[in-house]
Amino acid sequence: MDSTFISLMHGFAIAFQPDNLWYAFLGCLVGTLVGVLPGIGPLSGISILLPVTFGLNATQAVIMLAGIYYGSQDGGSTTSILRRIPGEASSVMTCIDGNAMAKKGRAGAALCIAAVGSWVAGTFGVVMLTLVAPPLATIALKFGPPEYTAMLVLGLIFLAYMSSSSLVRTLLMACIGLLLGMIGIDNMTGHFRYSFDLAELGDGIGIVPVAVGLFGLGEILSTPSYTVVGEVITPKFRELLPNRQEWRESFWPIIRGSGLGFIIGIIPGSAHIISSFLSYALERRVSKHPEEFGKGAVAGVAGPESANNSASTGAFVPMLALGIPTGPITAVLIGALMVHGVNSGPQLVTEHPDVFWGFVASMYVGNLMLLALNLPLVGLFVTVLRIPYAYLYPLIIMFCIVGVYEVSHSVVDVYIMLIMGVLGYALKKFSFDPAPLVLGLVISPIFEQSLRQSLIMSNGDYTIFFMRPISLGLLIVSAIMLIMSAYTFMMKRRDWRATLAEVEAGEVQP
């Protein structure tokens, strides 16, 4: 514990350096804007701005990109409350009661509760990250290729289980991602695979063109400007503080949302989306007045907003301690660290303590910055929300092209982004969630290498995965997940995932 405290203090010394403070601030501001603007999610925001970090060192880069991630969780609530459009996916639940509060003249209070809840949850998440990640990394040092293989299998199956779309659809997307990740030179044999004599494909397909295409351009293709309408409610500055009753009603939902969000954040999947949904359902269940939900219940804003912020911090635990992404956003962040020559994983704490502890400490500071930013700048965000979408999306396309091109100065990458944009559009038409595809793409090289190494070290005996306790345990959990999914499917039972899918599609209230 003492060494954790000393390391954290060292992290604060790094985080408080003026340039690191500046990049944390910049990340939080850009992240909030990314969250505010409908159509740009944190994933496309981070992907587009990734090349901007190439001139920075690894600590500054990850501080800024993580600021964009957790800043976007905060910013999304502003759009949800003032326009009833989720600024980004995890704010779907905030739309319901946040906008209802705004229509009752409590927009300011809803924004303030969302901001305070986000700060409490974000800070709670970072405290837990500080306590959990280093010991977990120590345990992970004992992992060999079979354990990594089993863990990645568990990650994929967990993602499929937690996803709001069906198990088969999620696994199909993961398979496509895994196959895309196998394009290029095979690291173990040197064979060229599926590169069609294109030298640019020799290094494989990058995560940035795929992520920007699927989530940035794909969204634009399926959103004509005439479909984006919405009135913006402008809160008055003097109404920004909630009254005593509203503070009281938000206290326990914030506490519960923080705890629930962190636990779900550690689990692979679109944790921040699922956590806000589950928090909303939990709050309605424990409420003495469930009939108020949907009509402006304070707990319907406080719980989900706390949960999605805590989940976004929780997602950093497996990323930093194990080097395993729990979703496409942490996958891009791992990619960003790799660009700077830093591999996330168990060795990160020991080999790059400045990056690890500087990053953790910067999140304490960043969460405070967000609290200080969000309320005074509400006027600015309202102005941004008034920019017509017709003028906004050409700007986003420009950033998509520049962002992807700047990664490796290759037009082939930009064409890959365009193809992925069209694929993203088609996938949306057929109700596929592209997130598992990005995750599959990222884990593909690690998965293939650890699987082949495991088989080589056991001389082709596949029971190696069942002979080692950790990998056996992970595979048993995977099997339980599969059985539970199959049971739900065979019994034609509706569970919370079916309801989540309908809520995301805007069909029903939970």
Partner 1 sequence: MKLRADHVAGSAFILFGAGIIALSGDLPTGQLSMPGSGFLPKIVAALTILFGAVLVLRGGESPPFAELAWDDGKHALLVTAITSIAIGLYEHLGFFVTMLLMIVTLLLLIERRKPFYAIVYSLAIVGLTYVSFVYGLKTPLPEFSF
57 vs 50: CA distance, rounded Å: 13
402 vs 406: CA distance, rounded Å: 6
* Least distance (Å) between residue 186 CB and partner 1: 4
- Out of 85, 112, 207, 221, point to the residue binding partner 1 (CB under 8 A): 221
- Out of 225, 243, 343, 350, point to the residue binding partner 1 (CB under 8 A): 225
- Out of 13, 127, 422, 482, point to the residue binding partner 1 (CB under 8 A): 422
* Least distance (Å) between residue 25 CB and partner 1: 15
Which lies closer to partner 1 via its Cβ, residue 280 or residue 432? Answer: 432
Nearest C-alpha neighbor of 303 from the set 67, 463, 497, 120: 120
* Least distance (Å) between residue 374 CB and partner 1: 24
Count of other CB atoms within 10 angstroms of residue 408: 14
What is the DSSP secondary structure assignment for residue 55, as one 8-state letter?
G
Enumerate residues 457-476 that contact partner 1 by CB under 8 A: 459-462
Q: Which stretch binds partner 1 (CB under 8 A): 122-130, 163-171, 256-264, 374-382?
A: 163-171
Structure tokens at 352: 């790059």
User: Helices 58-83 and 18-36 meet at what angle, rounded to 10?
Assistant: 30
Residue type, 183: I
Q: Which stretch binds partner 1 (CB under 8 A): 3-11, 30-38, 167-175, 249-257?
A: 167-175
Residues 6+ apart with CB under 8 A from 72: 31, 32, 34, 35, 41, 42, 45, 87, 88
Work out whether 29 is an interface residue with partner 1 (CB under 8 A): no
Enumerate residues 481-500 that contact partner 1 by CB under 8 A: none
Count residues near partner 1 (CB under 8 A): 60
* Least distance (Å) between residue 45 CB and partner 1: 15
- Out of 58, 93, 140, 171, point to the residue binding partner 1 (CB under 8 A): 171
* Least distance (Å) between residue 189 CB and partner 1: 5
Residue-wise burial string across 305-340, b where 16 or more C-beta atoms lie within 10 A, e elsewhere: bbbbbbbbbbbbbbbbbbbbbbbbbbbbbbbbbebb
Query: CA torsion, points 113, 114, 116, 117, in degrees to nearest 10?
Result: 110
The CA-atom distances, in angstroms, between 490 and each of 97, 158, 478 are 35, 19, 18
Helices marked H in 141-295? 145-162, 167-181, 207-211, 218-221, 244-266, 271-286
Work out whether 16 is an interface residue with partner 1 (CB under 8 A): no
Q: Which stretch binds partner 1 (CB under 8 A): 13-21, 169-177, 275-283, 361-369?
A: 169-177
Q: Contact at 8 Å (CB) between 357 and 11?
A: yes
- Out of 152, 154, 220, 307, point to the residue binding partner 1 (CB under 8 A): 220
Nearest C-alpha neighbor of 138 from the set 346, 309, 407, 415: 346
Enumerate residues 365-394 that contact partner 1 by CB under 8 A: 390-391, 393-394
* Least distance (Å) between residue 261 CB and partner 1: 31
* Least distance (Å) between residue 20 CB and partner 1: 17
Note the residues at the interface with partner 1 (CB under 8 A).
51-52, 54-55, 168-169, 171-172, 175-176, 178-179, 182, 186, 188-189, 191, 193-194, 217, 220-225, 227, 390-391, 393-395, 397-399, 401-402, 405-406, 411, 414-415, 418, 421-422, 425, 429-432, 447-448, 451-452, 455-456, 459-462
